[in-house]
Structure 1
């Protein structure tokens, strides 16, 4: 049972528990009307200390489509944090009003700290460059829907692999499945951290800075943007910005059934000309994010139909 649990990183749930969430998400996709009142009378608190569009909207849409309600803040300056309130006090107070909470924070470990003081389920919606588990659930559901299996795939992860919390979460999650080959595509300055690759003892992987050479063998290409907000030096950001750009020429050598994922927002790493290519599934991926969050909320509140 997932009722009452926190989701701070993907490994908090077993592979079987993840499959429960994906199976429920599939059912919601097939018959969303069945779940219109599943969370009637329940409240979701959104505690976003860092700006977000897709993740926050996705959670809000998920709860509203389940018949629940949402309250919260979209930046720290509009909360009592601006007065110096601690995370532990904030979550204690929020727990007096809400049934479940979602937190995004620029500091790594902040949602985990909140979960230690919370009487309600806490979901990590991204903490610094550390983890982004619900984006990982989104990515996994998308891969599962298009590839039917996580195993026996070659996945290339391209862009900012140093600070990319979506990449870190996805690699850790996929490492629990069999026969997956990882190709890490990044400039030397933004290569995948060693603490991530050290966990891939049962998987083949290699690192390269050349997307064109890697793309022919890929079943899945996971593009990411160079994240300006993670750089201390703007000159360094501007030097690396635009390092990769996926366009038709690069796709000419890709498999016909390769899928292109992106956690969004996109800047300039995927040309808009790719959007109509059948392999580009990143906007469908965003929609899967709402469905998987609906399933997650239901599971943490203790029900498949009625919370």
Structure 2
């Protein structure tokens, strides 16, 4: 099985075996990083980092991953038009071996992969997909829980507009997890996404507006923020943010071995007091970004 020259656009494009290949490779990368072994699989290779909207964490993480593998990075300033996207892809493919793309429009990464001669890695296309973050999430869950299958995973927060949580939702279906979707009524997971995962993978999916219900039986609590810019009424957004956040009090009935994950950076959706508890694993999750993205780059074009 090989991912050589394969674009990573959506979790829908990856078979379970391919996901496991990436996770296994990430384990290998993590061990080599700890031993400070020299890594040269990307020597003389170039990553073109093309961001049409800012995303410091993803951009820096991939840049560090590429350099750790002995490669180099060229960064292109962001713009917003699709025409600009097509022109830039056709131009920069001549100067690189792999393209990292973030764009606010859904489907932009798919378009780029269709027109590019070089593999494209989707770093987020609007509210659609963010597969590399999901691979980090899966790696973290497997690392901390020993498995993904049959775990009770609760996805909490903005499930309507957040690309990260939509990618993870689909991936959890692949691994047959039991999934709880907890959100304010205004931010529920789109019905077409629920139908797709339920029909394709025959997994248990439970919807609720109650954080207490989402936490009670969860093995994994995955929290994503609620963005004010998604609301016309900012005061309404602030009210929802305050009413839909994870507090220490809510964790009183949680499983003793619950882990809380978050793609970071977080705002008020998780009480800061939780950062120092045994439940908080989001900083450890962030650390796994480097080996996972090294694994992706190595498998796609190493």
Q: Could you say which residue in structure 1 is the equivalent of 2:298?
A: 298
Distance in 2, Cα, partners of 1:74 & 1:292: 25
Q: Please, which of 167, 181, 189 is the counterpart of residue 192 of structure 1?
A: 189
Distance in 2, Cα, partners of 1:12 & 1:85: 25
Q: Structure 1 pair 208/197, CA: closer, same or farther in 2 (3 Å)?
A: same
- The ranges of structure 1 where at least 4 consecutive aligned residues each deviate by more than 3 angstroms after the TM superposition are 229-236
**1:66 to 2:99 alignment:** no
What do residues 180-211 of structure 1 show as CA deviations (whole Å, max 9, x unaligned)?
21111111000111011102131111111111
- Per-residue deviation at 1:246? 1.5
Alignment of 1:19-58 (within 5 A): 19-32=20-33, 33-58=36-61
SS of the residue 2:37 aligns to: helix
Distance in 1, Cα, partners of 2:233 & 2:224: 20
Q: Structure 1 pair 5/276, CA: closer, same or farther in 2 (3 Å)?
A: same
- Structure 2: give runs of 5+ residues left out of the alignment: none
Structure with the bigger percentage of helix: 2
- Structure 1: give runs of 5+ residues left out of the alignment: 302-306
- Per-residue deviation at 1:252? 1.2
What do residues 101-149 of structure 1 show as CA deviations (whole Å, max 9, x unaligned)?
1111110001110111101110110011111000110100001101111
What do residues 148-176 of structure 1 show as CA deviations (whole Å, max 9, x unaligned)?
11111111111101111111100111111
**1:169 to 2:177 alignment:** no
Residues 50 and 74, structure 1, Cα contact 8 Å, conserved in 2: no
SS of the residue 2:270 aligns to: coil
- Per-residue deviation at 1:12? 1.3
Residues 51 and 74, structure 1, Cα contact 8 Å, conserved in 2: no
Q: TM-score, normalised by structure 2?
A: 0.93
Distance in 2, Cα, partners of 1:271 & 1:239: 16
Q: Structure 1 pair 231/112, CA: closer, same or farther in 2 (3 Å)?
A: farther
Q: TM-score, normalised by structure 1?
A: 0.92
Residues 181 and 214, structure 2, Cα contact 8 Å, conserved in 1: no
Q: Could you say which residue in structure 1 is the equivalent of 2:280?
A: 280
- Per-residue deviation at 1:74? 5.0
- Per-residue deviation at 1:11? 2.0
Distance in 1, Cα, partners of 2:296 & 2:11: 12
Q: Could you say which residue in structure 1 is the equivalent of 2:259?
A: 259
Residues 39 and 67, structure 1, Cα contact 8 Å, conserved in 2: yes
Distance in 1, Cα, partners of 2:235 & 2:293: 37
Count of aligned pairs: 296
Residues 182 and 208, structure 2, Cα contact 8 Å, conserved in 1: yes
Q: Could you say which residue in structure 1 is the equivalent of 2:111?
A: 113
Residues 28 and 34, structure 1, Cα contact 8 Å, conserved in 2: no
Distance in 2, Cα, partners of 1:268 & 1:190: 17
**1:138 to 2:136 alignment:** yes
Q: Structure 1 pair 35/141, CA: closer, same or farther in 2 (3 Å)?
A: farther
- Per-residue deviation at 1:65? 1.0
